[in-house]
Amino acid sequence: MSEQYIYSFQNGDGKNKKLLGGKGANLCEMTQIGINVPPGFVITTAACLAYLQNNELPPDLMTTVKQEIDKLESATGKTFGRGPDPLLVSVRSGSAMSMPGMMDTVLNLGLNSETLAGLISQTGDERFAYDAYRRFIQLFGKVALGISDEHFDEYFEAVKNRVGVSSDVALTADHLREISDKFLAVVRRETGKDFPQDVMEQLKLAVEAVFRSWMGKRAVDYRREFHITPDMANGTAVNICTMVFGNKGDDCATGVGFTRNPGTGENEMFGEYLINAQGEDVVAGIRTPKALHNMELEMPEQYSQLVTLRNTLESHYQEVQDYEFTIEKGTLYCLQTRNGKMNAAAMVKTSVDMFAEKLITREQALLRIDPELLEQLLHPSLDPDTTAEPIAIGLPASPGAASGKCVFDADLAEKLGKAGDKVILVREETRPEDIHGFFASEGILTSRGGKTSHAAVVARGMGKPCVAGAEGIIVDVSLRQAHVGTRVLHEGDVITLDGASGMVYEGAIATIEAQFSDDLQTLLGWADATADLKVMANADTPAAARKALEYGAMGIGLCRTERMFNASDRLPVVIDMILADTADERQAALDRLLPIQQADFIDLFSVMAPKPVTVRLLDPPMHEFLPTETQLLEQLQVLRLYRDVARGRHTALAAMDAILEMPKPFDELSEEFVNDVLIKKERMLKKVRELREVNPMLGHRGVRLGIAYPEIYAMQIRAILGATIECAEQGVQVIPEIMVPQVITAQELATVRRTVDDLTSQLEESFGTKLNFRFGTMIETVRACTRAAELAENVEFFSFGTNDLTQAVFSFSREDAENKFLPMYNDTGILQYNPFEVLDVLGVGQLIEMAVERGRAQRENLKIGICGEQGGHPESIRFCHHAGLDYVSCSGPRVPIARLAAATAKLRDKEFDTANG
C-alpha cells in the first residue's frame, strides 16, 4: 500500500507538523475546529523527500492532486482553469520549523488567457486582473521556470519610463495588459516554450519548484545558521489553498493580527487592516493600514467575528497567535495562524496573565518562554529609537549598554570612578591587574581579543557591558588618546557602548533600564518551585555576591580566590610572595595576605549567609600574576635609559613615566628609588623566565601548585575557616565549601585534606568552637572522571569545571581555538556548536555521566554541580538536569536564565539532541 502524500484541510492531523509543516498543520487544525479557512489541501514533507531523492514526483501524486482540486471546485462552486468564476489557488511552502521567506510561494495560480477573461468579467476590474496576471507570470516564471527577475523588470521599467511614471500604481489596465503580453514573450524567449496554459501543468511545476526550494542555497544557509537539523525539520510541505480576495470592494478587507499586544503583552485586540486591499498591500506600505480597533466602527459585524476568531485561536492554541485574515464580500476568512513572536517583557507578562486567566497551567507558562529571551530583561539597552551612527564595531562580548568618559588605564578609571565620574575603560586588551579599573567603570572597550578574552569574561562575570576586539580603534596610552579612522578620542571624551550589538557610539546615547518586573519575579518563583536543579552564581566579591542575590542565586557555586589577589592593594603582596626565594620570605608575604583574604571571606559570607559559598583554592599558574616577559623587557630597557639620561631632559622622560607607572615625575625621584625599581624588575624578569611554561594551561597550576607550596593553600584554608569562626561570633551562620582545583588522583585530595584537618583542629582548640564546612573537588580533568569513585571517598561534593574539561576532551584550548580554527569548524559544519559555549554532550557529557555514576556509587549523597560558562546555557542545563546534577553555577546575570532553564529542563526531561558531532 502506497503512502498517503496528500491531506485535505478537513482531514490532516493538525498536530503532525513534521509531516504537514507548521502552516499546513495549522490550516487543518483551524478548519477542523470550525474556523472559516478557504478550502485547500496539503502535500506532505514525505512527498518532498521522495521528490528530492528520485528527482521526480511520486507516481500518481498529480492524479491525487487533481482529485483534491475537483473537491475544491465542488466546495467553492468555482472551476479550475476555465469558466466565468475561475478557481485560483495559492501554492505555499511550509516546513516543520518556521523559515520565513526562505522558500518559494506562488499566488493566483490558475490564471491563463481563459480564466483571465473570467476574472475580468467576474470582478469587472480589468486593471486588477491584469495586475494579478503580470504578477503571476513573473512569479511563476521565476519560481517554476527559473527566469531571472531582470528579464521581466527590464520591460516593466521600459513601460514606466515611456509613460513617464515612477510608481506602479500610476499604470493603467492597458499598460498592464501590454506588460503581461511582453512577459509572456519573455517566457517564450527564455524557455523556448509558451507560458503553460494548462493549469494542472502550472500546478505540477509550482509544486516541484517549492520542493526544490528546500535545497536552495537560501534555505540551506538558514538551516545551518539556526541549527535546524533533519530531526527538527526535513523537507517542506506544499499548501494549496483557494485564493480569496480582500480587494473586491468596500465589503472586503485584509489584515494581520496578534491575539495580544506583542510589545507589552497587554491582553487587547492588536493588529492592522486595510479595506479593499490585498494582503501584500498591508505590508507594502503604499497605503497606511489602520489599527484593528477602528474596524469596530467601520465593519462592526466582521469585527465581532474577528473578536470571536481571536478568542477561538487563543483558547484552542493556549498561546498568543499571529494570524492573517481576509474579508471577501463580508465573509471573514482566516488564512494562517502561528505562535506569536514577542519580546521578553511581553512573553513574561502573557505567561503570568494567561495562567491567571486559567488559559494555561504554570508548566505551560514556563515552557513557552525560551530562557535565553530573558537576557533582554536583565541589562540596560540602547534606546531603540536612536538614530546615532556607530563610530566603530567590535564583538558583542557582554550585554548591556553604558555611556561614560573614556579612560585609558585602570588606575585613572578607579580614581575618576571613585570621584563619581561615569567612565568607560578603553584598553588594547586587559589583564588581571586591570581588575580595579573594571569595578570603577560602566563598561569596557578593547581593541583586541575575542568573546573569551579577559575583558569579556570578567565583564560578563560582573554583568557590565563589554565590546571586545573593536579593531578599528587604535589605542595610544602614552598620548592618552585613541584613533578611530580619522577621528581622535581624547581621554575624557564621552562614548556609549552597546554590548549586545558590539556597537560603539560617540557621545551619550539614551539607554533603557533593565526591567526586573513583578511578573518576572512571579514567573521565576514558579521556576524555582518546579526545578530540581538549584542555581548558584559564580561571584568573587561581596558586590558581585549582592548582585547575584538580586538575580535570585541560591548560593555561590564558585568563588575564584585569585580574583581577590588581583585587587590593587593585594597584587604587590602576591608578587612578593611569588618572588620569594625562601619559604620564610614566602611565609612573610602570606602572613600579610592572610588578614586581607580573611576579611574578604567575612564580607562575602556575611552577604550570602545562610546560603552556601564554595571557595576554590588558588588555581592559575603563578606567572599570571606577573607582567609578561615582553612587558618587563620593555620596562627594563626604558628604565635603564631613564637611569642613565641626564636629569635636565624632562620632556623626553614624561612618556617614560607613564610606561613605568612611576608614582611621581622623574625629577622628584631619588636615584636610589629608581635603582630599587630596576632591581625589582630584574628580579621579576628572572622569575618570569623561571616560571615560563610552554603550555600554561597544562602546567604548574591548581592543586599541583598547592602541593608544591603547601603554605599558600594553608593560608587560604586558614582564612576561610577563620572567617567562618569570626562570622559565627557575629551571629552569622555559614557553612563554607572548600574546593580543590585540577585534581587527578585521590592522593592529591588526601594531601590537602590533611592541611584542612590540621588547621581545623588548631582553630577549634584555640577558639573552643566546632567548625562546620564541606570539602570538595573540581572535576575538570578527564582522569578525575575516570577516578571519580576514589575521589568521592575523600570529598562531600564535586563541581564540574566544564571549560577545562572541554579543553581536555577536545585537546584544544579555548583561546587558541576561538582565535584560529573554531570559527572555520563551525562554518563548515565540522562542529555544530562552539563547545565552550554549549556543553558537548557526546564527548564531555559522557565523561560527566561517568563521573556522576562512579561518584554516587561510592557516596550516595554526593552533592554534584557544574560551574563554568556552560552552566548558564539552557541546552547545557538540560543536560545537567538529565545527568542528575544537584546544581548549576553561572555568572550572576545568567542566573535568571538558568532558573527558568532548570524548570523547563525538568518539564522536558527526555532524550537529547545527539547531533553535535
Q: Are 648 and 708 in contact (CB under 8 A)?
A: no
Tell me which of 867, 873, 881, 882 is the catalytic residue.
867
Q: Which stretch binds its own copies (CB under 8 A): 94-102, 240-248, 666-674, 826-834?
A: 826-834
Measured distance CA(873)–CA(531) in Å, rounded:
15
| Among candidate residues 684, 739, 735, the one with its CA nearest the CA of residue 717 | 739
Number of H helices, E strands in the chain: 37, 31
Among 432, 542, 699, 884, binds its own copies (CB under 8 A): 699
* In contact, 15 and 298? CB cutoff 8 Å: no
Element (H, E) at 407: strand 401-407
Q: The C-alpha cell of 685 is what?
A: 624578569
Nearest distance in Å: CB 607, its own copies:
33
Is 500 or 788 the residue whose CB approaches its own copies more closely? 788
Between residue 571 and residue 630, which ones bind its own copies under the rule CB under 8 A?
Answer: none
CB of 815 to its own copies, least distance (A): 5
Q: What is the DSSP letter of 816?
A: H
Nearer to its own copies, 233 or 744 (CB): 744
Nearer to its own copies, 404 or 835 (CB): 835
Q: Considering the complex, what minimum distance in angstroms separates the CB of residue 786 from its own copies?
A: 5
Instruction: State whether residue 7 is helix, strand or coil.
Output: strand
Q: Which residues have a Cβ under 8 Å from the Cβ of 290 and sit 6 or more positions away?
A: 272, 273, 274, 298
Could you say which of 73, 411, 815, 837 contacts its own copies (CB under 8 A)?
815
Please identify which residue in 160, 422, 592, 704 interacts with its own copies, judged by CB under 8 A. 704
Which of 744, 771, 792, 839 touches its own copies (CB under 8 A)? 744
CA–CA separation, 61 and 66 (whole Å): 9
Nearer to its own copies, 654 or 708 (CB): 708
Closest to its own copies by CB, 372 vs 790, is 790
* Conformational region of residue 699, where left means phi above 0, alpha means psi within -120 to 50, and beta covers everything else: beta
Part of the chain binding its own copies (CB under 8 A), chosen from 152-160, 378-386, 514-522, 687-695: 687-695
Asked if 63 touches its own copies (CB under 8 A), the answer is no
What residue ranges in 724-802 does DSSP mark as E strands? Answer: 736-740, 774-779, 797-801
C-beta of 812: minimal distance to its own copies in Å?
5
Report the 3 state secondary structure along 702-732: CHHHHHHCHHHHHHHHHHHHHHHHHHHHCCC
How far apart CA 868 and CA 870 sit, in angstroms, is 6
Q: Is residue 781 involved in binding its own copies (CB under 8 A)?
A: yes
From residue 332 to residue 361, the character string flagging contacts with its own copies as x (rule: CB under 8 A) and all else as - is ------------------------------
Among 708, 754, 769, 908, binds its own copies (CB under 8 A): 708
Q: Which residues contact 505 (CB under 8 A, 6 or more apart)?
A: 388, 389, 390, 391, 495, 496, 497, 498
- For the CB of residue 810, give the shortest distance to its own copies in the complex, in Å: 5
Interface segment toward its own copies; rule CB under 8 A; list 154-162, 544-552, 820-828, 894-902: 820-828
If one asks whether residue 698 binds its own copies (CB under 8 A), the answer comes out as yes
- How many Cβ atoms sit within 10 Å of the Cβ of residue 230? 10
Of the residues 175, 436, 454, 881, which is catalytic? Answer: 454
Provide, rounded to whole angstroms, the least separation between the CB of residue 749 and its own copies.
10
At closest approach, how far in Å is the CB of 695 from its own copies?
4
When asked if residue 804 is in the footprint of its own copies (CB under 8 A), the reply is yes
User: Considering only residues 150-179, where is the footprint of its own copies by CB under 8 A?
Assistant: none
- Minimum distance from CB of 617 to its own copies (Å)? 16
Tell me which amino acid residue 92 is.
R
Q: Is residue 751 at the binding interface for its own copies, with CB under 8 A as the rule? A: yes
Whether the CB-CB separation of 322 and 315 falls below 8 Å is answered with no
Among 600, 748, 818, 869, binds its own copies (CB under 8 A): 748
Asked if 336 and 317 count as a contact pair (C-beta separation under 8 A), the reply is no
Nearest approach in angstroms of CB 408 to its own copies is 23
Closest CA to 199 of 66, 70, 110: 110
Residues 6+ apart with CB under 8 A from 16: 25
Q: Is 799 a binder of its own copies (CB under 8 A)?
A: no
Give the shortest CB-27-to-its own copies separation in angstroms: 38
- Our finding on whether 211 is near its own copies (CB under 8 A) is no
Site for its own copies contains 818 (CB under 8 A)? no
**The one among 790, 796, 837, 913 contacting its own copies by CB under 8 A:** 790
Which residue of 84, 472, 843, 884 would you call a contact of its own copies, by CB under 8 A?
A: 843
| Cβ closest to its own copies, residue 780 vs residue 869 | 780
Stretch that binds its own copies, among 315-323, 337-345, 739-747, 875-883 (CB under 8 A): 739-747
CB of 708 to its own copies, least distance (A): 6
Residue 820 per-residue DSSP state: T
Q: How far apart are CA 238 and CA 229, in angstroms?
A: 20
Task: Tell me if 912 contacts its own copies by CB under 8 A.
Answer: no
* Size, binding site for its own copies by CB under 8 A: 50
Go through the chain and tell me how many residues it has. 917
- Is there binding between residue 809 and its own copies (CB under 8 A)? yes
- Rounded distance between C-alpha atoms, residue 775 and residue 795, angstroms: 5
Question: Is residue 711 involved in binding its own copies (CB under 8 A)?
Answer: no
- CB-based burial, 187-218: b 16+ in 10 Å, e otherwise: beeeeeeebbeebeebbbbbbbbbbbbbeeee
The CA-atom distances, in angstroms, between 799 and each of 131, 389, 866, 869, 900 are: 67, 45, 5, 13, 21
673 binds its own copies (CB under 8 A): no
All three cell numbers of 882: 538529565
821 makes contact with its own copies (CB under 8 A)? yes
Q: Is 867 an active-site residue? A: yes
Q: Does 780 bind its own copies (CB under 8 A)?
A: yes
CA dihedral 858, 860, 863, 865 (to 10 degrees): 70
In the complex, which residues of this chain contact its own copies (CB under 8 A)? 693-700, 704, 707-708, 742, 744-748, 751, 780-783, 786-787, 790, 804, 807-813, 815-817, 820-821, 824-825, 828-831, 840, 842-843, 846-847, 917
Residues taking part in catalysis? 454, 867
